[in-house]
Amino acid sequence: MSLLLGQTALVDGADPIPKDLDALRDRVAALNARYRHHGATAVLEGALRDPEAGKIAMVSSFGAESVALLHLVAMVDRKTPVLFIDTRLLFAETLAYQQEIAERLHLSNVQIVRTAPEILDQRDPYGALRFSDTDACCALRKTEPLQKALEGFDGWITGRKRYQAKTRAEMEFFELEEATGRIKVNPLAHWGPEDTRAYMEENRLPKHPLVAQGYPSIGCAPCTSKVKPGEDPRAGRWRDQDKTECGIHFVNGVAARNSM
């Protein structure tokens, strides 16, 4: 399935997202209290089966470490909606890897999310926006189509981890995006790099082909470079720029993180 920004992306039969922020904060607090001492699998089962979590989708880049969480989700429910944002600037290897992993894990509800061609033609007709304003490019090709695709869902699963950035250091399993009213689920929040590697090796999961070529963190091709030994794994993302996030985890320029 392909979802385009500019077209309706609502899920049939989806309940409206509650607007009462106090009630939502209470739901998130209850979920964190309930699963605080559990592992990733239990958090995923809670997100996908606990009525307090609501209707949940997974968002995956099918990047360097994505297969671990995709495998966990497949073990819980292979019918889980998996939203894959195709910016039309991805590496060819990422597109091939996405198809390989979806088939291997028998994920039956992968939805390709793209910005509609007419919107790209209007706002980035020459494909040069990335050179003048990377934030605007990410908003056009990632953030906006994702927000459209998430309409009708009460929350979404991410692969974010605390160790990846200072902005994620206190991340909980469940967070509230107050601007959207959606719950964000971070089952791997407490995992370190060694946990991901061990899980992939134990389950014989295939690595993204670019990892062996020196890309430990993979985004769009124009904004991703190889990482030298000893560098931070994300040093190749937007190299030499004051930018560490693509924007999908921010709402109106602010990190959408619960304060608890």
- Of the listed 137, 138, 223, 246, which one is catalytic? 246
Residue 224 placed within a domain: yes
The answer to whether residue 57 sits within a structural domain is yes
CATH code for the domain in which residue 125 is found: 3.40.50.620
* DSSP category for residue 121: H
Q: For residue 209, tell me if it sits in a domain.
A: yes
- Residue 67 resides in a domain: yes
Q: What is the pLDDT of residue 161?
A: 87
Name the strand (E) or helix (H) holding 194. Answer: helix 193-202
Strand, coil or helix: what is 155?
strand
Binning the chain into helix, strand and coil, the percentages to the nearest 5 are 40, 15, 50
**260 in any annotated domain:** no
Amino acid occupying residue 16: P
pLDDT tens-digit readout, 78-131: 999 999 999 999 999 999 999 999 999 999 999 999 999 999 999 999 999 999
Report whether pLDDT(245) > 70: no
Is the residue at 40 inside a domain?
yes
The residue written with tokens 């290897």 in the block is 93
Q: What are phi and psi of 255, to 5 degrees?
A: -60, 125
Domain count, the chain: 1
Give catalytic status of residue 246 as yes or no.
yes
Instruction: For residue 184, report the phi and psi dihedrals to the nearest 5 degrees.
Output: -105, 130
> Please, what is the average pLDDT of the chain?
86
pLDDT digits (tens, 9 = 90+) for 160-198: 888 776 767 778 999 999 889 999 999 999 998 899 999
Strand partners, 175: 184
215 lies in some domain: yes
List the one residue out of 45, 53, 109, 114 whose CA is nearest residue 73.
45
Query: What DSSP designation does 128 have?
Result: -
Q: What's the CA gap between 249 and 85, in Å, rounded?
A: 14
pLDDT tens sequence across 194-214: 999 999 999 999 999 999 999
Question: Could you give the C-alpha distances from 51 to 46, 55, 155, in angstroms and in order?
Answer: 8, 8, 12
pTM for the whole thing? 0.84
pLDDT digits (tens, 9 = 90+) for 13-64: 344 444 588 999 999 999 999 999 999 999 999 999 988 888 999 999 999 9
Is 75 part of any domain?
yes
3-class secondary-structure state, position 244: coil
Q: Tell me the one-letter amino acid at 65.
A: E
Reduce the DSSP state of residue 160 to 3 states and report it. Answer: coil
Q: Look up the domain containing 97 and give its range.
A: 2-255
